[in-house]
RNA sequence: GCCGCUGUGGUGUAGCCUGGCUAGCAUAGGGGCCUGUGGAGCCCUCAGCGUGGGUUCAAAUCCCACCGGCGGCCCCA
């Protein structure tokens, strides 16, 4: 264990990397469908930029250090800060600005299962409009992305911070900002702990009878129409936002929407609609979360801009993909070009290169191993086909093509072989586009 | 940052309580049996006690510290 990794870091190994690429592809395609431009903000920011979002205390929770010239810098802990900084400082952008990013982040947290100090997120943000259309766009984006990944059971829980604030102020008569924040924090735990536990935990900070009312209010959760009708009796003006949002989502064909007033999310900057995406197993935690954060552009000097967005954890999504029973993406047919002896070694490499130039994945042994070993390697590498080349094939200008799964062999010309492989490849592509 | 559990080849483990021969087994990797046809079998081989101290004639085993992993708390921007 001499050359181990620093705490909380890991290598992304081939199996996980493959799944991560699936998520990245689905995200990139969804960005194109919705007209979000892709970019990646700088991984390193000045510390003051990172602190703008949530105060100097952030320093303890991120990778922050002095560079060789003594500048205080930090590794990005989310993509929102960098994207917002970029948008805010580019005066020539046309609004709405819709941008997405898929990139690695660093946080100095205690590592735990599915939680590392270096991890990936995807992120889509819409800047400019303050209306609920932009929120609907972002929720629809999230829904569509999970659909594309085949995680059809993902449901989106939507809440509204404004509505909660109005309820706390008007109905509970609490005005003190810090107290309101504590109450929100408590409410956020409703999905993790029992009411009793929460009331006890906060008994020193918040009047239990008041908190209890809020928790009851927050337990309003379920099918949208039903929750909205039960909200009527409270006569809260902010309810209109949710009504409009739900209506828009219906027209957009977004399904699996749950109204859940206990959704709070991070306290530092969300201001309106907030939402989280869950799989059937809620213990896994949210796969993605987002909402409206109009405060942040204002912090960066653009109070005229609205902002709403969503960020998703790639590691949790990969866990969900692994648990899913549905068939995983079939591999393109790969071919192993095996050769009988040294004399035809060079010819085999020629064949493999020819296939690759035709866009067909092909492998060839690099170590002059015996035919037996080459076939063994081909079968372990999960190749679909083996091409076998010996002196006979070289002189007749043909190859043996063998289906590794059923062991059947054929003697074909190189052109015929290429055509066969291309047909198989096409079938796989059609399969992929259907799912 | 705090609390609890835990650490033996790449992976999974036996041995630890009760200190004592060359740290055992399985699997994965490399090779051979097998010089133009793979997945089996047999044989060989590579590879380990997280790190550093202490106790002892003797430490994987007992003690301490650190490091890593897992679970929880805080936080989740």
| A44-75 residue pLDDT tens | 999 999 988 777 778 888 898 888 898 999 99
Spatial separation of the C-alpha atoms in residues A190 and A201, rounded to whole Å: 12
| A197-248 residue pLDDT tens | 888 888 888 888 889 999 999 888 899 999 999 999 899 999 999 999 999 9
Å: A12 CA to B28 C1'? 20
**Nucleotide of closest approach to A380 (CA, C1'):** B39
Confirm whether A4 is domain-assigned. Answer: no
Residue A364's domain comprises: 335-434
Same domain, A159 and A187: yes
**Nucleotide of closest approach to A400 (CA, C1'):** B37
Same domain, A209 and A248: yes
Spatial separation of the C-alpha atoms in residues A314 and A32, rounded to whole Å: 19
Write down which residue in A272, A292, A323 finishes a domain: A323
Residue A329: what pLDDT?
Answer: 60
Number of domains into which chain A is organized:
2
Same domain, A314 and A341: no
Å: A167 CA to B67 C1'? 50
Å: A408 CA to B40 C1'? 20
Q: Specify the pairing of strand A221-223 against strand A257-260.
A: antiparallel
Residue for token digits 């749950």?
A: A258
Å: A115 CA to B69 C1'? 12
- Neighbouring residues of A288: CB distance < 8 A, sequence distance ≥ 6: A142, A146, A276, A277, A310, A311, A312, A313, A317
Spatial separation of the C-alpha atoms in residues A60 and A47, rounded to whole Å: 12
Same domain, A309 and A381: no
Same domain, A281 and A367: no
Write down which residue in A323, A349, A379 finishes a domain: A323
Spatial separation of the C-alpha atoms in residues A323 and A316, rounded to whole Å: 11
Same domain, A214 and A69: yes
Residue A339: what pLDDT?
Answer: 94
**Nucleotide of closest approach to A373 (CA, C1'):** B38
Q: Which residue is nearest to nucleotide B69 (CA to C1')?
A: A112
Confirm whether A9 is domain-assigned. Answer: no
Same domain, A318 and A347: no
Å: A99 CA to B5 C1'? 44
CATH number, position A378: 3.40.50.800
Å: A8 CA to B19 C1'? 35
- Neighbouring residues of A259: CB distance < 8 A, sequence distance ≥ 6: A157, A158, A159, A220, A221, A222, A223, A224, A227, A228, A242, A246
CATH number, position A205: 3.30.930.10
Same domain, A108 and A255: yes
**Nucleotide of closest approach to A289 (CA, C1'):** B76
Task: Tell me which nucleotides of strand B come within 7 A of a protein CB.
Answer: 1-3, 29-32, 34-39, 50-51, 67-77
**Nucleotide of closest approach to A9 (CA, C1'):** B68
Same domain, A205 and A237: yes
Å: A54 CA to B12 C1'? 45
Confirm whether A162 is domain-assigned. Answer: yes
**Nucleotide of closest approach to A296 (CA, C1'):** B77
Same domain, A317 and A366: no
Nearest by Cα to A11 from A119, A110, A109? A119
Confirm whether A206 is domain-assigned. Answer: yes
Spatial separation of the C-alpha atoms in residues A325 and A313, rounded to whole Å: 21
**Nucleotide of closest approach to A59 (CA, C1'):** B77
Pick out chain A residues at pLDDT < 50.
1
Confirm whether A170 is domain-assigned. Answer: yes
**Nucleotide of closest approach to A375 (CA, C1'):** B38
Q: Specify the pairing of strand A306-313 against strand A44-46.
A: unpaired
- Neighbouring residues of A91: CB distance < 8 A, sequence distance ≥ 6: none
Burial class of A174 by CB neighbour count within 10 A (0 to 12, 13 to 18, 19+)? buried
Same domain, A146 and A53: yes
Write down which residue in A259, A294, A323 finishes a domain: A323
Query: Which ipTM did the prediction report?
Result: 0.83
Confirm whether A21 is domain-assigned. Answer: yes
Same domain, A303 and A397: no
Residue A326: what pLDDT?
Answer: 56
Å: A371 CA to B22 C1'? 39
Confirm whether A1 is domain-assigned. Answer: no
Q: Which residue is nearest to nucleotide B50 (CA to C1')?
A: A1
Confirm whether A386 is domain-assigned. Answer: yes
Å: A4 CA to B60 C1'? 21
Å: A228 CA to B1 C1'? 42
| A369-392 residue pLDDT tens | 999 999 999 988 888 899 999 999
Q: Which two tokens stand for residue A247?
A: 């209506």
Spatial separation of the C-alpha atoms in residues A123 and A80, rounded to whole Å: 8
Q: Which residue is nearest to nucleotide B48 (CA to C1')?
A: A1
């Amino acid at each position: 264990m001499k050359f181990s990794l620093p705490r909380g870091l890991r290598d992304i190994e081939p199996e996980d990397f493959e799944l991560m690429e699936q998520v990245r592809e689905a995200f990139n395609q969804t960005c194109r469908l919705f007209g979000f431009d892709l970019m990646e903000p700088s991984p390193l920011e000045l510390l003051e930029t990172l602190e703008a979002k949530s105060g100097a205390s952030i320093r303890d929770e991120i990778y922050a250090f002095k560079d060789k010239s003594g500048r205080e810098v930090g590794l990005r802990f989310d993509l929102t800060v960098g994207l917002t900084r970029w948008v805010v400082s580019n005066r020539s952008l046309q609004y709405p600005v819709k941008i997405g990013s898929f990139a690695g982040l660093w946080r100095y947290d205690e590592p735990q299962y599915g939680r590392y100090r270096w991890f990936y997120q995807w992120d889509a943000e819409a800047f400019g409009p303050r209306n609920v259309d932009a929120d609907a766009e972002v929720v629809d984006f999230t829904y569509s992305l999970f659909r594309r990944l085949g995680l059809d059971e993902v449901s989106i829980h939507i809440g509204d911070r404004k509505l909660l604030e109005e309820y706390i102020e008007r109905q509970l008569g609490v005005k003190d900002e810090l107290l309101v924040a504590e109450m929100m924090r408590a409410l956020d735990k409703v999905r993790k702990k029992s009411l009793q536990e929460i009331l006890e935990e906060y008994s020193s900070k918040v009047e239990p009878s008041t908190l209890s009312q809020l928790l009851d209010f927050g337990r309003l959760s379920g099918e949208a129409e039903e929750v909205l009708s039960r909200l009527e009796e409270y006569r809260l003006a902010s309810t209109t936002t949710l009504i409009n949002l739900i209506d828009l989502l219906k027209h957009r064909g977004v399904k699996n929407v749950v109204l859940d007033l206990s959704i709070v999310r991070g306290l530092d900057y969300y201001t309106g609609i907030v939402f989280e995406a869950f799989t059937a197993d809620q213990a896994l935690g949210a796969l993605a979360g987002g909402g409206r954060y109009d405060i942040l552009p204002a912090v960066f000097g653009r109070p005229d801009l609205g902002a709403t967005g969503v960020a998703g954890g790639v590691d949790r999504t990969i866990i969900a993909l692994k648990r899913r029973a549905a068939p995983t993406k079939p591999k393109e047919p790969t071919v192993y070009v095996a050769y009988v002896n040294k004399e035809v070694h060079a010819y085999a490499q020629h064949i493999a290169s020819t296939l690759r130039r035709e866009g067909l994945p092909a492998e060839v042994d690099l170590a002059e191993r015996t035919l037996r070993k080459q076939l063994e390697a081909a079968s372990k590498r999960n190749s679909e086909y083996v091409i076998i080349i010996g002196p006979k094939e070289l002189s007749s200008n043909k190859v043996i093509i063998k289906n590794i799964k059923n062991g059947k062999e054929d003697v074909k010309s190189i052109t015929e072989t290429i055509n066969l492989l291309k047909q198989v490849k096409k079938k796989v592509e059609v399969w992929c586009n259907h799912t």
